[in-house]
A = this chain, B = another copy of it.
Amino acid sequence: MKNILIIGCGLLGSSLLRRIAKKRLAKKIFIYEKSKKNISKIKRLKLPGILIPNLKKGVENSNFIIFCTPMSEYKKIILKINKYLTSKHIITDLGSSKLKSLQVINKNLKKNIFWTSSHPIAGSEVSGPEYGKQNLFENKWCILIKDKRSNKKNLKFLSFFWKKIGSKTVIMNSVKHDKIFSITSHLPHLVAYNLVKSAQDFEKKQNYELLKYSAGGLRDFSRIAASNEIMWRDILFDNKKNVSKAIDLFIKNLNSFKKDLKSENHKSILKKLIQTKKVRSQIIKLKQDINRPDFGRD
């Protein structure tokens, strides 16, 4: 059994913490958190684990380190802990994009240290340790990244670890990972942000109290557009090449849709609406969403 160091104890870090403690997956759990606000929340919530004031103690006393911070923090932390790291440390992170973050890791991490990146497909629009849940990762996919800094042994350990956390695991390379998530996650998020922004732009001109009438669709997008801004800035810049391509594909479809509207091409629009409708039942069949109308929210 390992001693685990969790770096960054917000929504994701505190969810892992709760699960690890509940399932007794570690001998000791150390928590490093730089935000004073979060530290006092962690204390008030009486979360399990030992809060440590500096990374040195955590790294020296752990053999498994999990980065749960925004990706823009990795470099600074790596440079701080490099001198305490040994090749025996198992290191992972939960970043949502991989190509560029792994470049940063590779460039800054000391030689002969392994890093095996994870991406659990779980999260929420709320942030902070008070929203963490021990079952956040339950039945969710967790992608493990095979690249030059990972090794077989650590991949095997992480597969085992994430299964204990309740997740299903799959291994892929960072190129494939970043392409997939540019479409299934990054594009939807930036679309949601821009849709809400368009409503705000419109409202500035017209002052129609738009939000009063947001239950007709906009409210769904506002949830995703409420996601943590630092985390999402990092993801979108990290994966900007794929994301830009995804925007182009999407704008192409929007323009074609607009053209169909203009030319009164009822048949083409209907075909598109029918074609996209099928996806919902596939997503439910794949257990990627709950099988209740309106997300069961009413």
Q: A residues touching B (Cβ–Cβ < 8 Å)? A: 96, 121-126, 131, 133, 135, 140-141, 143, 176, 179-181, 183-202, 206, 208, 210-227, 229-230, 232-233, 236-237, 240, 243-244, 246-247, 249-251, 253-255, 257-258, 261-262, 264, 266, 269-270, 272-277, 279-283, 286, 288-290, 292-298
Decide if A125 touches B297 in the complex (CB within 8 Å): no
Copies in the assembly, this chain: 2
Top 4 closest A-B pairs, CB basis? A185-B216, A188-B217, A226-B280, A229-B273
Closest chain B residue to A270 by CB distance?
B233
Q: Report the minimal beta-carbon distance from A202 to chain B, rounded to whole angstroms.
A: 5
A295/B293 contact (C-beta < 8 A), A194-B254, A217-B184, A253-B197 known: no
Residues of B close to A230: CB separation below 8 A? 270
A279/B194 contact (C-beta < 8 A), A124-B293, A216-B185 known: no
A215-B275 Cα distance, complex, nearest whole Å = 20
Q: Report the minimal beta-carbon distance from A276 to chain B, rounded to whole angstroms.
A: 4
Decide if B288 touches A208 in the complex (CB within 8 Å): no
A283/B219 contact (C-beta < 8 A), A225-B277, A250-B198, A253-B197 known: yes
A240/B254 contact (C-beta < 8 A), A222-B279, A283-B211 known: no
- B188, B206, B212, B236: the one contacting A221 at CB < 8 Å is B188
Decide if A218 touches B183 in the complex (CB within 8 Å): yes
Residues of B close to A290: CB separation below 8 A? 297-298
Decide if A214 touches B254 in the complex (CB within 8 Å): no
Decide if A275 touches B237 in the complex (CB within 8 Å): no
A288-B261 Cα distance, complex, nearest whole Å = 29
Residues of B close to A226: CB separation below 8 A? 277, 279-281
Residues of B close to A186: CB separation below 8 A? 217
Name 11 interchain pairs, CB-CB below 8 A, sorted by A: A121-B216, A122-B215, A184-B211, A184-B213, A195-B250, A197-B272, A219-B288, A223-B280, A226-B280, A236-B261, A237-B264
Residues of B close to A257: CB separation below 8 A? 190, 193-194, 247
